[in-house]
Amino acid sequence: MNWTLALPEIVLALSGLVILLAGVMQKRGQAFFSCTMMTLFALVVTAALVVLSPDGTGYSHVFINDDFARFMKVLALAGAALSLVLGIGYAREMEIDKFEFPVLVLFSTLGAMIMASSGNLMTLFVGLELSSLSIYILCAFARDQVTAAEAGLKYFVLGSLASGILLYGISLAYGFAGTLDYAGLQQAVRGSAVLPAGLMVGIVFVLVGLCFKLSMVPFHMWTPDVYQGAPTSVTAYMAGAPKIAAFAVLLRVMAGPFGSMAHQWQLLIEVVSAASMVFGALAAIPQGNIKRLMAYSSIGHMGYAMIGLAAGTAEGTRGTLVYLVTYLFMNVGAFAGIVAMRRKGRAVSRISDLAGLGRSDPGMALAMAVFMFSMAGAPPLAGFFGKLMVFYAAINAQLYGLAAIGIISSVIGAYYYIRIVKIMFFDAAAPALDRAPVSVSFVSVGMGLVTVFFIVALGPVATAAQAAAGALFR
C-alpha cells in the first residue's frame, strides 16, 4: 500500500481540520479572511503536490494516480481557488463571511479529488458524497435569504434522489459482476459473451446519477433555481470543480470498465448530449435573470463536452478535457462580472441592469464581452478551440449528426450571448453599478487574458490533455 499516492488528499484533509480549529479559536468577525487565506495556501500547496505525485495504484486498487487524475485534480483545485477569491470582496454582503465557508469549499474539493482518483465504485461514491454534502450546505449558507434556503433544500432533496439511484446502480453492477474495482469490472465485461440485463441496468443507473451532477438533460431540473438562489461565489464554484470531478468519474468509468461495450452505451450518450445542447440553447433565450441564463448555458456546455465521450476515442477524450479547461476559465470570468453587479450596495441580477455598462465601466464591459463571445465559440478566443476539438473528434468518429446538432446549437446560443453585449454597449444606460473590489477585478482581468491568449497555451494544454486521455486508453 503506497500511501504517498494520496499525499495531496491527505495534506488537504489535514489542512481542512487545522483551518477549522483556527477558525473556532478566532473572534467571529475576524476568522473569515484569515481562514480563506489559509485555504488558498492549502489549495496551492496541494496543487504542487498533485503535479509532483507519482503514478501508481494504491490502497488495494481503490485509488489510482495517473496523468488523467492529475489533470482533473489541478483543474478542480484551480476552480476552487478562483471561486474563493471571488467571495472575498463581497463576503459580508453575500452573507458568507464565516470561517466555515472556505472550509466547506476545501472539503468539497477534497471529494472532487477523490472522485478523480477513484479505482473502485465505492470510492467514487464516497468522494461524490463528500463533495455533494458540502455543496448542499454552501447553497444555503446565506441562511437569512429565502432564495438561498430554497436552493439548498431543492438541491439536497434532488441530489439525495440522484445519489440513491447511483448507489442502486453500483449495487446492481456488484451483484452481476462480483466486484466493485474498475479492473475487475473490465475483466467481467470483456469475459462475458452476452452481458446480463441487470448489469446493463446498473450501468444506466450509474450514468443517470452522474448526469444529474452534470445537470444534463433530462436531469437538469434543479440547475436554474439553485444557480439563482445560491450566493454567486457558490454558484461560480458549483459550475466549476464539482462538474469537472463528475466528468472525471464519467470518463474514467465509461472508458475503463465499460469501454469495451462502447457500442452499447454510445447512443445513450449521444441522445443526452444532443438534448442538453439544444435545450440549453433554446431555454436560455427568454431568460431575464443572468444567473438563470448561466444555468441554462452550463447545461449546453456540458452537452458540448459530452460529445468527446460519445466519440469513445482518445481523441474525443482529449477534446473534452480541453473543452473543460476553456469552460472553467471563461465561466469563472463571467461569474466575476456577475458578482460585481451591485448597485448602492445591493446585488442586482437582471440582464437589463447591465445596460450602458460600456459607458459607465468600460473595463468590466469589455471583460464580459470577451467571456460572452468566447462562450459563443467566436475565434480566436478560448471557447472556439474547445468546440473545435470536440466537433473534430465527433466527425472523425463519424458522428456527423451529433456534430451538426452541436454547430446549430452554437449558432442559436450565440444569440443570447451577443444580446448581453448589445445591452452593455448599445442600450440606454441604467444607473451605474458600484465599482468592483480589487479581488473581483483581479479574477476578471486574469480570466480575460487567459481567454484572449489561450491560443498561446493551446499546445501545452492539448499535450497534457493527450497524456491524460492516453492514461485511460492504454
What confidence tens digit (pLDDT) does each residue in 327-360 have?
A: 999 999 999 999 888 888 788 888 988 898 888 8
Q: What percent of the chain has pLDDT over 90?
A: 56
Same domain, 307 and 178: no
Same domain, 220 and 277: no
C-alpha to C-alpha distance for 317 and 300, rounded to whole angstroms:
18
Express each pLDDT in 293-339 by its tens digit. 999 999 999 999 999 999 888 899 999 999 999 999 999 999 999 98
Express each pLDDT in 428-449 by its tens digit. 888 888 888 888 889 999 999 9
Same domain, 240 and 278: no
Same domain, 458 and 378: yes
Same domain, 201 and 281: no
Q: Which three cell numbers stand for residue 96?
A: 458568507
Same domain, 215 and 329: no
Residue 42 or residue 258, greater confidence: 42
Phi first, then psi: give them for residue 379, nearest 5 degrees.
-75, 155
C-alpha to C-alpha distance for 166 and 219, rounded to whole angstroms:
13
- Give the pLDDT of residue 8: 94
Name the residue range of residue 374's domain.
261-473
Same domain, 90 and 238: yes
Same domain, 239 and 267: no
Residue 143, number of CB atoms within 10 A of its CB: 11
Instruction: Give me the chain's average pLDDT, please.
Output: 89
C-alpha to C-alpha distance for 451 and 471, rounded to whole angstroms:
27
Convert 419-448 to b/e letters by CB count within 10 Å (16 or more is b): ebbebbbeeeebeebbebeebbbbbbbbbb
Which of 257, 278, 294 is the endpoint of a domain?
257
Same domain, 237 and 276: no
Q: H helices within 53-177, ranges in order?
A: 67-89, 100-116, 121-139, 146-177
Q: Which three cell numbers stand for residue 47?
A: 496543487
Closest CA to 104 of 77, 76, 136: 136
* Number of domain units in the chain: 2
Same domain, 267 and 253: no
Same domain, 238 and 272: no
Same domain, 65 and 188: yes
Q: Which three cell numbers stand for residue 198?
A: 441487470
Which of 257, 289, 307 is the endpoint of a domain?
257
What pTM does this model have?
0.93
- DSSP conformation letters of 49-80: HHHHPPPEEETTTTEEESHHHHHHHHHHHHHH
Radius of gyration of the chain (CA): 21
With beta carbons less than 8 A apart as the criterion, state whether 403 and 277 touch.
Answer: no
Which of 214, 239, 257 is the endpoint of a domain?
257
